[in-house]
Amino acid sequence: MSKICVIKGDGIGPEVVDSAIEILNKAAEKFNFKLDYNYTLMGGIAIDETGVPLPKETVNAAKASDAVLLGAVGGAKWDNLPGDKRPEAGLLGIRKALGLYANIRPAKLFTPLINACPLRRRVIKNGLDLVIVRELTGGAYFGKKRTVTKDGVKSASDLMIYSDFEIGRIVETAFEIASKRKKSVCSVEKANVLESSRLWREIARKVADRHPEIQYSEMLVDNCAMQLVRNPSQFDVIVTENLFGDILSDEAAMLTGSLGMLPSASLNETSFGLYEPVHGSAPDIAGKNIANPCATILSATMMLRYSLGLSEAADAIEAAVEAVLADGYRTRDIAEEGCRVVGTDEMTELIKGKI
Ligand code: IPM
Ligand code: MG
């Protein structure tokens, strides 16, 4: 029996996680495995109930589990708290505490959702199926932060710092993922300006030398932002540092036109991982039964695949999601003319029915 630490979080987090658990339970029945869920707190709800965004018990529960399934954290209610007390500090804290340095964000255009893509048809005629591998526990997010006032001038800084081993291991992850895909890695940095990027490039080249079977290229981050809208089919696996990856993964998500569909995995050097949708907590639509549960359901399939070794069940759930879309059902966020708009519950039932 695999132990899953569940963090529902805030906003639509609880409803999309409930939906993913229903799907997991259906798959467990069908494919004969058992999951044991341990519910814990993080984010705004943890601030309200325990006074901190990431209670120790949550970190301990996560460490004692095989994987973590997360909804989303944050909301206007907690927006005025200082940086280290905000719900997002819970997310950053758990990434660091569990050593989840490899953030895997696939951006795939589902064929039934091709009209959702904001790019012209001729730009995406070769499809869109890429993965952003984002370094998640280093860079400006975790470097030294300072705010100082000197001679009446207030200034603030966030140190973007990387060491060679942090770069090496994430670039290795990217090559490993590429070896199971189209065998191409593009390392993205700003080596024409940033010292940390120059080290990134030096280390990335060393890793590339060890994998001659994989095509390796380098791109400056500003150019990459442009190439993603100019010709996204050129990419297979993009590997980049934390802040660049945060920005580029939102851009890539928008290319699919369906943020509500995109899953993610954050892994450490073992098979342990935290799985969450790329979208946020969307407090404006929380509790209305209209949120799209697919991103969380697909995050759960990544969990089955990467942490639990249950790829057959993962395949079945992914096929079920595609089949429901192909039948013309859509949640409101991905609705288009001629489709049938359904709520969170109905979407979940439909997907269950196809497993
Ligand atoms: C993400 C989010 C987080 C990040 C925020 C909520 C702290 O934007 O996972 O991409 O910047 O990493
Ligand atoms: Mg982000």
Closest CA to 89 of 38, 138, 48, 55: 55
Tell me whether domains 1-110+271-355 and 118-255 share a fold: yes
For ligand 1, atom 2, which residue shows the shortest CA distance? 246
Band of residue 257 on the pLDDT scale cut at 50, 70, 90: confident
Q: Is the pTM of this model over 0.75?
A: yes
Q: Tell me the domain boundaries of the chain.
A: 1-110+271-355, 118-255
The residues carrying an active-site annotation are 141, 190, 222, 246, 250
Average pLDDT over residues 269-294: 96
Which DSSP symbol is given to 161? -
Q: What are the b/e assignments for 209-238, b being 16+ CB within 10 Å?
A: eebeebebebbebeebbebbeeebeebbbb
Residue 131: exposure state from Cβ atoms within 10 A (0-12, 13-18, ≥19):
buried
pLDDT of residue 162: 98
CA 104–ligand 2 middle distance (angstroms): 12
User: In which element (H, E) is residue 320 found?
Assistant: helix 311-326
Average pLDDT over residues 295-310: 97
Given 3.40.30.10, 3.40.190.10, 3.40.718.10, 3.40.50.300, which CATH number is that of 1-110+271-355?
Answer: 3.40.718.10
Which DSSP symbol is given to 54? S
CATH class of 118-255: alpha beta
Band of residue 200 on the pLDDT scale cut at 50, 70, 90: very high
Measured over the CA atoms of residue 197, residue 198, residue 199 and residue 201, the dihedral's sign is: positive
Written as six digits, the tokens of 128 are: 């869109």
CA 41–ligand 1 middle distance (angstroms): 18
219 vs 236: CA distance, rounded Å: 13
Q: Is 333 in the pocket of ligand 1 (CB under 6 A)?
A: no
80 vs 221: CA distance, rounded Å: 31
Q: Which atom of ligand 1 is nearest to the CA of 103?
A: 9
pLDDT digits (tens, 9 = 90+) for 42-52: 999 999 999 99
pLDDT of residue 86: 95
Q: Which atom of ligand 1 is nearest to the CA of 95?
A: 12
pLDDT digits (tens, 9 = 90+) for 42-95: 999 999 999 999 999 999 999 999 999 999 999 999 999 998 899 999 999 999
What percentage of the chain reaches a pLDDT higher than 70?
100
CA 91–ligand 1 middle distance (angstroms): 8
pLDDT digits (tens, 9 = 90+) for 4-43: 999 999 999 999 999 999 999 999 999 999 999 999 999 9
For ligand 1, atom 11, which residue shows the shortest CA distance? 246
233 vs 244: CA distance, rounded Å: 20
Band of residue 116 on the pLDDT scale cut at 50, 70, 90: confident
For ligand 1, atom 4, which residue shows the shortest CA distance? 246
State the average pLDDT for the chain. Answer: 96
Residue 56: exposure state from Cβ atoms within 10 A (0-12, 13-18, ≥19):
exposed
**DSSP string of 281-307, one letter each residue:** --GGGTTTT-S--HHHHHHHHHHHHHT
pLDDT at 258 > cutoff 90: no
pLDDT of residue 348: 98
pLDDT digits (tens, 9 = 90+) for 238-256: 999 999 999 999 999 999 8
